[in-house]
Structure 1
Amino acid sequence: MTSLSSLIAGRRTAWAVALVPFLLALVLIGAVGEGDRASRTTDSLPDGLDSTEGTALLDRLPEDATTAAIVLFTADRGELSGDQLASLREGADDLVARGGGPAQEASPLVPAEDRTAALLAVPVPSGSASEVADTVEELRAAADEAAPDGVRAQVTGPAAVQADLAAVFDGANTRLLLVTALVVAVLLVITYRSPVLWLVPLVVVGVADRLAAVLATQVMAAVDVAWDESTVGILSVLVFGAGTDYALLLISRYRDELRTEQSRHRAMAHALRRTAEAVLASATTVVLGLLTLLLSLTPTTRGLGLACAVGVVVAAAFALVVLPAALVLFGRWVFWPRVPHVGEAVTVESGTVWHRIGERVARRPAVVTGASLVLLAAMAVGLFRIDLGLDQAEQFLDEPEAISAAARLAESFPAGTADPTQVVSTGPADPVLAAVRSIDGVTSARVSDTGGGVTVVDAVLSGRSGENADTVEALRDAVAPYDAHVTGSEAEAIDERTGSDRDLRLIVPLILALVLGGLVALLRSAVAPVLLVLTVVATYAAAMGASWWLFTGPLGFGAMDSGVPLFAFLFLVALGVDYYIFLVTRAREEAAGHGARDGMLRALSATGGVITSAGILLAAVFAVLGVLPLVVLAQLGTIICLGVLLDTLLVRTLLVPALGMLLGDRFWWPRRVG
């Protein structure tokens, strides 16, 4: 590592080390671009479950298959008059034509029994999300024109939900990237208090982010791993967060070295050697943790794990190669107005706020340990109250027309009319149809499509969205003898919860084992790694519990998305362990000359500022996920933001140092560090 760090920071070589990877990255970004892959209808569904099998059978239908858009007409006041209904019937044929599907599959205008509403089912050709969205937009405009005075027109149904979901991500990744970069820039300016220095890590991490998006999508396309609209956005947040954390650690150590070394090239070489172990250990732990998602049942979850693993590798490479080389191309003046000079006090000495905090912890480590654990336990109480599973109407922060129209439709028609449950079979239709109609909770059923050896029965369920689990299970039992599968949004939600539960039980223990093994290998200790993993788990439990109170209180969410616990655990544990690695590797280094107790105090003094800055920055970056109007991303961002702040301000600042000071040499057992 000595010769490599000298090459990266060398007087004659630094410019090439900085420039060549930078130019190659720009060429790949511009010339190659992000990868592309034809999406499949089962990409977001867990492998092997009933709704997934049914959705796969739907793909065997002829290519001219359609999806349904439901045009809902409601009276502004009272009931629809005879003239209004006549006008709507006259315009129905035009609306069906605007939908573009086969006219024979359209239903006539159906007034509700209470005569306050009427609906028209319009077939829309299945296609890409953008194609369906364009058709639904035209249909909404035509429905507004067709509605007479005193009547409101709205479009719902599966086609409209697909269109509104596509609208959520229209330009979302660009918006998310810009907001993330702005947040990082502001926090870097606050951290360094320099008008120049912040530009270097921001540009380096920004290029790393774009390169990571290109490489990750190209790799996923090459190995045929699925990803969705949110994958690249989450990837950007992770690369900016992790890359900036690594940059903060390196620059902090570089600043310290400049206070003891006249040559900035030698100072950077020393800083890089002392930083590389912690960064590589952290990045390796995060990458291995992310790769555990390849064991998930859901294809897009596997894609997210692979994409983020590629992103962390790119972020670490740019932080350890391009950034140090780029920094030494500038003189000390890049830190202006707080330029470090040889002979200035280093941050491990007394006088800093972190040293004073450490001294207070050292006076009563047992009290600090107990108080910290009580606080974390109190916050974790909400963990036992969490309800998992969001129905379709709860997925959006801002309710789109498809959801509000479905809610209004349920007031005048059976609730499942807008989104029928589908029973897909490869056998005769009559026994399947009879079995479906025999189930309590099924309002009506009809054969809606046939072809390719597949028959589709649409079943309208009486319960509102999210209230039909028993009916779906009864349907599955009834049609099982006929080689049939039950799918649709209600069935998919049930299977997604089943898949998430299985992933949680399999992947969480594996992540913990990987993190524990990595810490044991890095620290060559038995006690410290176990304590650190336990504190990480306690932080996760506290963040989940406290977030639940936020969700059910100020934020007004009725439940937590079933995939959030796994993703939150992965990101909190994999990223949170960074700060412990940064702290304990410095403590081990300081303990060699000052003993275990004083070594922990000096490590807290030395790393307190940079780890706090990195934690606040990472928390703010994940909070940016709230820019996207999806509840699952808002929940994930909230939990990670809160968890990282707990890690940074409580666990790493008070609890871990208190444990280290309380145990002394036993913290490092069986290794001797003093």
Structure 2
Amino acid sequence: MPRWARAALPAVLVLVWLALAAVGGPYFGRVSEVSSNDQASYLPASADATKVAALQPEFSDSDAVPAIVVLHRPGGLSTPDVAAITEDTKALAGLPGVAGDVSPPIVSDDGEAAQVFVPMTDDADLDAHVAGLREHLASSVPDGVRAYVTGPAGFASDLGAAFEGIDGLLLGVALAAVFVILVVVYRSPLLPLLVLVTSTFALCAALLVVWWLAKWDVVELNGQVQGILFILVIGAATDYSLLYVSRYREALRDERSRWRATWVALRGAFWPVVASAGTVIAGLLCLLLSDLSSNQALGPVTSIGIVFALLAATTLLPALLLLCGRAAFWPARPNLGSAHPAVVGPQARGLWARVARWISGAPRTIWVVCTLVLLAAATGLVQLKADGVPQSDLVLGHSEARDGQDVLAEHFPGGSGSPALVVGPSSELERMAGVLVGHDGVSSVSVAAKGVPSGTAPVTADGVQPVQGATPAPTVVDGDVLLEATLSDPADSDAAEDVVRSLRADLAAVDDGILVGGVTAVAVDSNDASIHDRNTIIPIVLVVILLILVLLLRAVLAPVLLVLSVVLSFAASLGVSALVFDHVFGLPGADPAVPLYGFVFLVALGIDYNIFLMTRVREESLEHGTRQGILRGLAVTGGVITSAGLVLAATFAALGVIPILFLAQIAFIVAFGVLVDTLVVRSLLVPALSYDIGAPIWWPSRLWRDDGGVARSDRRRDRV
């Protein structure tokens, strides 16, 4: 290629990526325009709760989100307190975001609390409107009375506030952690910046594509998916970059031309990086088989991120390093003709050379001990509680909605403001009402009726009750009516979920087309779908990754052992995490999707490091025989893979700065699991087991049959 073209090509690549980053960067501040944290939007269309949520607006003149204002004075509200609260409710109707009539205060039987129902506009400014409502109440309630805003609008606001740090805090912590690790590893001021630029530009380009796909309703985007996308792109792009940097530094020792060194490095790094990215993408796309919309969205969204991480690491970073040359590694420049460090043998120095010698001396002892330790750690799985958590526990730290829910449950029926919604034939109204009224877990029942100030009319065993002297007619939509059943227990409690399951069974005997929805039903359907996804997707991911490894390594035994090692690593990581969650952090449990997400990330990313290792081992085995190839591959890749593991663990750990239970648990599981996989499985277990097995590890490929001759030749050369 002409000299001018060699200079122009990297410059053009850098300019293209700079343009993508310039266009995509501003979209960090616009994610809220296309994302939603409404839990019902996560559900599949076939779920009862989803169907009820779609039908509910037809029974009402408003699709507002209810906020419940709870006012509490220990010892009891006085008559002046109630009068002041009643007067203030008139002012609430004029606040921004209040979508309709505000109910008069309802005083509890013990006289210590009152509740007011405030309908809030369901739009992108809900968080700001709830914050304005709270600010107003803080200054308007009588002295000594504490006001809380809870209910669906209150919890949605607290959840939105918890996700506010994703754009700034999360990225800042993740990038700072990566930068510190890279400076320590490379002892160079420029190279870490080039790697961070590569990762950041990849994220900007990925966000640009994802934002428009969400805008066109091709994918669903929420805070959970957004946070994982950011972390996964930064971590993956950095990992792929480290592998290329390692190859490029090797090539600079042998090649005078930076151009030639770039192509040598690309040949060595390209296919392992592509195989690793392809494995992660294949695992993530298996989430499309999920019933939950949030899981379905995570698959393509994060796959897009991995694609851009791959493209940046194989185009932008090589271009940047080509332009910078050996100066990128200053002050430890790799000079032309400098000797490659010895990786095996008595003259070899360094940590990984010592590890290789240790493995060659006692391979069976090492892999057996590692396996037993991991199996012992996996016994913690029996303490894993991944059957769902109450909505009030989703936000870590302070939550006014959670505090208000506790006060509400203490002085009113626990399900006040978040009733179970029952949609069924109008011809079966009396029988449905009879089932609801007669159930021990239901405190009151009402039916949607237009022309009534509250929008509903009370229902008892005797039928619809009069309101203001007249008996209203229930609202009928396509032959159906909507009943609201206020539960005795808090809507997000296990007891309430049991009541919803029981009601569904009892109402099915009346008519199998009756639907039960509402806040509690959303939690029930979410948990059921998550458990189904976990049991379905995990085996499929294993099969897909196994097939990819078979094609990559052209063997059967090695891929099977690699998959088993990563599964063992995942089980150990999840077992330790369960113990830490229960006995160190005292967490209330976990969502059923936590093990699934942990599995997909750990297995896909854990296989990455085994791919980096075993592709180099296979390359060395072709020349030196399997056992020597294993030692040489481990010694050569040990530093770069360990650095990559530390970077990925640090980036996932950064998720812990977002005070969301789900993300904090994923952060710990994946960060700890990556360290286990990097420092134990890939560094000791896999090399020791492979060394102990020897050439049959490549069965049934040609390398297995030819390895004996190569190994004998190596031994003769060593003796000479």
Q: TM-score range by the shorter chain?
A: over 0.9
Q: Bigger CA drift: 225-234 or 421-430?
A: 421-430
Q: Is the 8 A contact 1:665 1:672 kept in 2?
A: no
Matched, 1:474 2:474: no
1:586-616: CA deviation from partner (whole Å, max 9, x where unpaired): 1111112221111111111100000000001
Q: CA deviation at 1:204?
A: 1.6
CA distance in 2, matches of 1:43, 1:84: 40
Matched, 1:119 2:145: no
Q: Which residue number in structure 2 is paired with residue 50 of structure 1?
A: 48
State the one-letter code of the partner of 2:483. V
User: Residues 8 and 442 of structure 1: is their aligned pair in 2 closer, same or farther, counting only changes over 3 Å?
Assistant: farther
Q: Which residue number in structure 1 is paired with residue 436 of structure 2?
A: 436
Counterparts of 1:26-65 in structure 2, within 5 Å, are 26=21, 28-29=23-24, 37=34, 42-61=40-59, 64-65=62-63
1:224-244: CA deviation from partner (whole Å, max 9, x where unpaired): 222212322211111110000
Q: CA deviation at 1:528?
A: 0.2
Q: Bigger CA drift: 25-34 or 112-121?
A: 25-34
Q: CA deviation at 1:8?
A: 13
Matched, 1:427 2:426: yes
Q: Which residue number in structure 2 is paired with residue 25 of structure 1?
A: 20
CA distance in 1, matches of 2:507, 2:216: 39
Q: Which residue number in structure 2 is paired with residue 574 of structure 1?
A: 604
Counterparts of 1:54-203 in structure 2, within 5 Å, are 54-61=52-59, 64-75=62-73, 77-98=74-95, 100-103=98-101, 106-125=102-121, 127-130=122-125, 132-203=126-197
Q: Is the 8 A contact 1:173 1:232 kept in 2?
A: no
Q: CA deviation at 1:435?
A: 2.7
Q: CA deviation at 1:475?
A: 1.4
Matched, 1:302 2:296: yes
State the one-letter code of the partner of 2:141. A
* Secondary structure, counterpart of 1:308 in structure 2: helix
User: Residues 307 and 533 of structure 1: is their aligned pair in 2 closer, same or farther, counting only changes over 3 Å?
Assistant: same
Q: Is the 8 A contact 2:383 2:579 kept in 1?
A: no
CA distance in 2, matches of 1:558, 1:8: 64
Matched, 1:626 2:656: yes
Q: CA deviation at 1:168?
A: 1.9
CA distance in 2, matches of 1:432, 1:425: 8
Q: Which residue number in structure 1 is paired with residue 484 of structure 2?
A: 458
Matched, 1:354 2:352: yes
User: Residues 187 and 358 of structure 1: is their aligned pair in 2 closer, same or farther, counting only changes over 3 Å?
Assistant: same
Q: CA deviation at 1:418?
A: 4.1
Q: Is the 8 A contact 1:259 1:344 kept in 2?
A: yes
Q: Is the 8 A contact 1:157 1:419 kept in 2?
A: yes
1:557-596: CA deviation from partner (whole Å, max 9, x where unpaired): 1211111111111111111111000000111111122211
Q: CA deviation at 1:272?
A: 0.9
CA distance in 2, matches of 1:31, 1:7: 38
Find 1:499's aligned residue among 514, 529, 538: 529
State the one-letter code of the partner of 1:424. V
Matched, 1:522 2:522: no
State the one-letter code of the partner of 2:301. A
Q: Is the 8 A contact 1:239 1:315 kept in 2?
A: yes
Counterparts of 1:386-425 in structure 2, within 5 Å, are 386-388=384-386, 389-425=388-424
* Secondary structure, counterpart of 1:398 in structure 2: coil
CA distance in 1, matches of 2:27, 2:522: 36
CA distance in 1, matches of 2:532, 2:667: 23
Q: Is the 8 A contact 1:568 1:639 kept in 2?
A: yes
Q: CA deviation at 1:109?
A: 1.9
Q: Bigger CA drift: 197-206 or 601-610?
A: 197-206
CA distance in 2, matches of 1:615, 1:212: 23
CA distance in 2, matches of 1:372, 1:469: 42
Q: Which residue number in structure 1 is paired with residue 574 of structure 2?
A: 544
1:412-437: CA deviation from partner (whole Å, max 9, x where unpaired): 22211142222234635544333321
Q: Is the 8 A contact 2:155 2:392 kept in 1?
A: no
Matched, 1:253 2:247: yes
User: Residues 536 and 430 of structure 1: is their aligned pair in 2 closer, same or farther, counting only changes over 3 Å?
Assistant: same
Backbone CA RMSD of aligned residues = 2.4
Q: Bigger CA drift: 492-501 or 43-52?
A: 43-52
CA distance in 2, matches of 1:560, 1:26: 37
User: Residues 21 and 266 of structure 1: is their aligned pair in 2 closer, same or farther, counting only changes over 3 Å?
Assistant: same
CA distance in 1, matches of 2:119, 2:351: 67
Paired positions, count = 664
Q: CA deviation at 1:466?
A: 2.6
* Secondary structure, counterpart of 1:415 in structure 2: coil
CA distance in 1, matches of 2:243, 2:674: 16
User: Residues 650 and 86 of structure 1: is their aligned pair in 2 closer, same or farther, counting only changes over 3 Å?
Assistant: same
Q: Bigger CA drift: 63-72 or 289-298?
A: 63-72
User: Residues 385 and 459 of structure 1: is their aligned pair in 2 closer, same or farther, counting only changes over 3 Å?
Assistant: same
CA distance in 1, matches of 2:76, 2:11: 76
* Secondary structure, counterpart of 2:148 in structure 1: strand
State the one-letter code of the partner of 1:447. V
CA distance in 2, matches of 1:41, 1:414: 23
User: Residues 412 and 27 of structure 1: is their aligned pair in 2 closer, same or farther, counting only changes over 3 Å?
Assistant: closer
Give TM-score scaled by structure 2 length. 0.88
CA distance in 2, matches of 1:15, 1:283: 23
CA distance in 1, matches of 2:39, 2:637: 48
Q: Is the 8 A contact 1:17 1:322 kept in 2?
A: no
User: Residues 331 and 145 of structure 1: is their aligned pair in 2 closer, same or farther, counting only changes over 3 Å?
Assistant: closer
* Secondary structure, counterpart of 2:395 in structure 1: coil
1:323-360: CA deviation from partner (whole Å, max 9, x where unpaired): 11210111312211111122223363421211101111
Q: Which residue number in structure 2 is paired with residue 332 of structure 1?
A: 326
Q: Which residue number in structure 1 is paired with residue 618 of structure 2?
A: 588
Q: CA deviation at 1:62?
A: 5.1
> Rg larger in 1 or in 2?
2
Matched, 1:660 2:690: yes
1:109-145: CA deviation from partner (whole Å, max 9, x where unpaired): 22222222222222334x2142x32332232223223
Find 1:242's aligned residue among 233, 236, 239: 236
State the one-letter code of the partner of 1:391. P
User: Residues 557 and 247 of structure 1: is their aligned pair in 2 closer, same or farther, counting only changes over 3 Å?
Assistant: same
State the one-letter code of the partner of 2:162. V
CA distance in 2, matches of 1:109, 1:193: 66
Q: Is the 8 A contact 1:539 1:643 kept in 2?
A: yes
Q: Bigger CA drift: 644-653 or 403-412?
A: 403-412
- Which runs of 5 or more residues in structure 2 are unaligned? 449-454, 456-474, 708-720
1:492-524: CA deviation from partner (whole Å, max 9, x where unpaired): 111111101111122111111111001000001
* Secondary structure, counterpart of 2:88 in structure 1: helix
Matched, 1:228 2:222: yes
CA distance in 2, matches of 1:419, 1:308: 34
